[in-house]
Amino acid sequence: MIAMQCPVCSTRAAEVGLLCEECRDDLSSPLRITPEQVQSRSRQPTKAVLIDYWGRSHRLDPITAIGRSAEEPTDEGLILVLEASASRKHAVLRQAAGGSWTIEDLESSNGTFIGDEPISTVVPLVSGNRLVFGDVGFYFVANLEAEQPVSVDPLAATTIRSQDRLRLSDVVAPPTNDFDEAERTDAGLPMRNVRLSEPTGGGGGLVEVDGQQVQLTTTQFEFVVVLINRMIEESHQPDLVRGFVRSSELIADLSWDARDPSENHVKQLVRRVRRVLDKAKLGQLIESRHRFGYRLRAMPKILPHTKLP
């Protein structure tokens, strides 16, 4: 069976619902909401859709309202975003007679964005546009024929409300030095046995996860080691925020071939490491979250270190 192609980038296979992992990562936000907080109603569905963080498609009517409040039944489509950053009447998408689409912000409190740019007038849409309503992002796809059932990742069903962001210390577990096989994390961060092996003269190294080895370059190896160390250092933190390393730290601390490494170099590095891990059938061990950075999607239990000749 041929894997479905991501309708946003049209270059990679869909991995999370309709989305490839990289396009899905671009919808990540410090604000995490449950799938139930995004709902849709379509009365005259077109071929256009909005695709949410979980890779689900929401069919658009020729006129589709976006907002936090369900008004009296009308002939218009509706996508409910039940989150405080979305206004009751936030935005509206319209299809013109020729089939093109526009979006209009309805003087929302927290703005409507195409990519990272706020809009203040009626703006035409292009298939693949990333739309953000307040803090909640979607992709606009103008013509989606094929769809598939989406199994929602239980890790995604965690909500940080805006008023909770400054109260994470209320749920921080007390620090502990105990780090053994009995330790467990709360929301799907499994314990993985990890062994790091590197030649004494440098030149990269081997990362072994649950007995499966992968060979990495120097920068890739350093990257994985940084993620492992951060996850161990923050083992006392709540699982929602544990172990993240910002791009700025990686740019400063890793050995780069480029003279002036940038965010794009970090993204390229992450993509390459993910591909290596995927080929080794180790799963999606590297998680990225917008404005948080990158982390290991597991709690590592370090096995004895081995020096290679």
Asked if residue 149 and residue 25 are part of one domain, the reply reads yes
Q: How many domains does the chain have?
A: 2
Given a contact cutoff of 8 angstroms between Cβ atoms, the answer to whether 294 and 244 are in contact is yes
For residues 151 and 233, membership in a common domain is answered with no
Burial 168-187 (b: 16+ CB within 10 A, else e): eeeeeeeeeeeeeeeeeeee
Same domain for 190 and 124: no
- For the chain, give the number of residues: 309
119 in the same domain as 54: yes
The secondary structure of residue 278, as a DSSP letter, is: H
Same domain assignment for residues 238 and 287: yes
Do residues 85 and 33 share a domain? Answer: yes
- Read off the CATH number of the domain in which 133 is found: 2.60.200.20
On whether residue 231 sits in a domain, the answer given is: yes
CA angle 9, 39, 21 (to 5 degrees): 25
236 and 190 together in one domain: yes
In a domain, 164, yes or no: no
Domain end marker among 155, 176, 202? 155
Residue 204 maps to a domain:
yes
> Does a structural domain hold residue 170?
no
Q: Is 6 within the bounds of a domain?
A: no
Phi, psi of 95 (to 5 degrees): -105, 130
Strand ranges for the chain from DSSP E: 38-41, 49-51, 57-59, 63-67, 77-81, 91-95, 101-105, 112-114, 117-118, 123-124, 130-133, 136-141, 191-199, 205-209, 212-216, 286-289, 293-296, 299-302, 306-308
The confidence score (pLDDT) of residue 171 equals 24
Domain membership of residue 61 (yes or no) is yes
pLDDT attached to residue 75: 72
- Asked whether residue 177 is assigned to any structural domain, the reply reads no
Question: Are residues 77 and 115 both part of a single domain?
Answer: yes
pLDDT digit of tens for each residue in the chain (309 aa)? 456 899 999 998 898 899 998 898 888 765 667 898 999 999 999 999 999 999 999 999 999 999 998 665 567 899 999 988 899 999 999 999 999 999 999 999 989 999 888 998 999 999 999 999 998 999 999 999 766 666 665 444 433 333 332 222 222 233 333 333 333 333 458 899 998 887 666 678 889 998 888 999 999 999 999 999 999 998 888 888 889 999 999 999 999 988 888 888 898 898 889 888 888 888 778 988 877 889 998 899 888 765 433
In this structure, the answer to whether residues 212 and 260 fall within a common structural domain is yes
Domain that holds residue 68: 21-155
Verify that 263 and 211 share a domain, yes or no. Answer: yes
Is 80 in contact with 43 (CB distance < 8 Å)?
no
* Residues 6+ positions from 27 with CB-CB distance below 8 Å: 19, 52, 53, 130, 137, 138, 139, 290
CA distance 126 to 118: 16
Q: For residue 140, what pLDDT is reported?
A: 98
Do 36 and 148 have their domain in common?
A: yes
- Strands 191-199 and 299-302, sheet pairing: parallel
Shared-domain flag, residues 151 and 26: yes
Residue 4 lies in a domain: no
The candidate with the shortest Cα–Cα distance to 188, out of 154, 218, 165, 162, is 154
Residue 30's pLDDT is 58
Contact 64, 77 (CB under 8 A): yes
pTM of the model: 0.54
